[in-house]
Amino acid sequence: MPYINVGRENSGEVELYYEDHGSGKPVVLIHGWPLSGASWEKQTLALLNSGCRVVTYDRRGFGYSDKPAFGYDYDTFADDLHKLVSKLDLRDFTLVGFSMGGGEVARYLGKHGTRHVSRAVFISAVPPFLLKTDDNPQGIAKDVFDGFKFAIIQDRPAFLSNFLSNFYNVDVLKGKSITDQAVQASWNSAVVASPRGTIDCITAFSETDFRKDLQKIDIPTLVIHGTDDRIVPFPISGKLTAETVKGSKLVAIDGAPHGLIWTHAERANKELLDFLGVMKTEPAQVVAK
């Protein structure tokens, strides 16, 4: 499996797992919390079938990547991403961030600029700023995030089960656009993550202010968000991100939950492919002989 070295902790290296498939214009997919690059399954297939080169990777602490006890902040995440795209020598590439991954897109562009980046996409993403403060009164109270951390310390597997129910709006969408097995697959991915990283990432995505990062974006930008997102509410995230990034396109998917890249994949993929200017094609059919 391919890995890239992004640092060192004590006697060990810190390496990130990534996958690099297909050809054509590169699209880098950055996963959400507390999942891994595997969560992009439906988008990876659509992009490959449309002739794109698709790069996914597991954030430090998650999936197959190493699980250090440090580095769970957006400056480090952006630097990790920069090391990956530099190693792969990507040009004219698109950054797509889901949920927490949208923070990587914002901070990467704010810190490293748009050189070689042609487009940006935010899906169910955490920017501009989730935390309720004096200058962000519509945000979410810190007590909510502190409650997440406490519940994780008490029983992380149980917390993940409850969290993913709201992630996919299972009470409404079960049997329609989400199955028990799909939720279980997400739980299986989340439960192998670093407990320390899982907690520290809550601080990162809740307390990092991306407003200045968004203001620096000067490339075509697409924002996709569900109107029924219970994790990152649309009015304080997708709507405001689209208002902050000049010339961006906003797609609000009616009734979609936070995890719309699975539940509403067909609509999300169509919007993504249209934005990239590529045509959806059917996968090759295998005929048994």
Nearest to 72 by CA among 190, 163, 203: 203
User: In the structure, what pLDDT confidence band is assigned to residue 278 with cuts at 50, 70 and 90?
Assistant: confident
CA torsion, points 277, 282, 283, 287, in degrees to nearest 10? -160
CA distance 88 to 58: 15
The DSSP element (H or E) to which 111 belongs, if any, is helix 101-112
Active-site annotation holder among 36, 50, 99, 189: 99
The pLDDT, as a whole number, for residue 288 is 42
DSSP strand pairing (26-30 vs 93-98): parallel
258 assigned to active site = yes
Select the CATH number that applies to the domain covering 3-276 from these four: 3.30.2270.10, 3.30.70.1350, 2.60.40.1220, 3.40.50.1820.
Answer: 3.40.50.1820
Nearest to 215 by CA among 107, 92, 115, 124: 107
CA distance 213 to 98: 17
Phi, psi of 2 (to 5 degrees): -80, 135
The DSSP element (H or E) to which 44 belongs, if any, is helix 41-49
Active-site annotation holder among 31, 50, 229, 237: 229
What is the tally of helices (H) and strands (E) in the chain?
Answer: 11, 8
- 285, pLDDT greater than 50: no
CB 190 within 8 A of CB 164: yes
The pLDDT, as a whole number, for residue 286 is 40
Q: pLDDT tens digit string along 82-130?
A: 999 999 999 999 999 999 999 999 999 999 999 999 999 999 999 999 9
The pLDDT, as a whole number, for residue 281 is 58
- 75, pLDDT greater than 80: yes
229 assigned to active site = yes
Which pTM does this prediction carry?
0.95
- 287, pLDDT greater than 60: no
134 assigned to active site = no
CA torsion, points 70, 74, 78, 84, in degrees to nearest 10? 40
Least reliable range by pLDDT among 16-20, 78-82, 144-148, 278-282: 278-282
Domain ranges of the chain: 3-276
User: In the structure, what pLDDT confidence band is assigned to residue 280 with cuts at 50, 70 and 90?
Assistant: low
Of residues 274 and 281, more confidently modeled: 274
Active-site annotation holder among 80, 189, 206, 258: 258
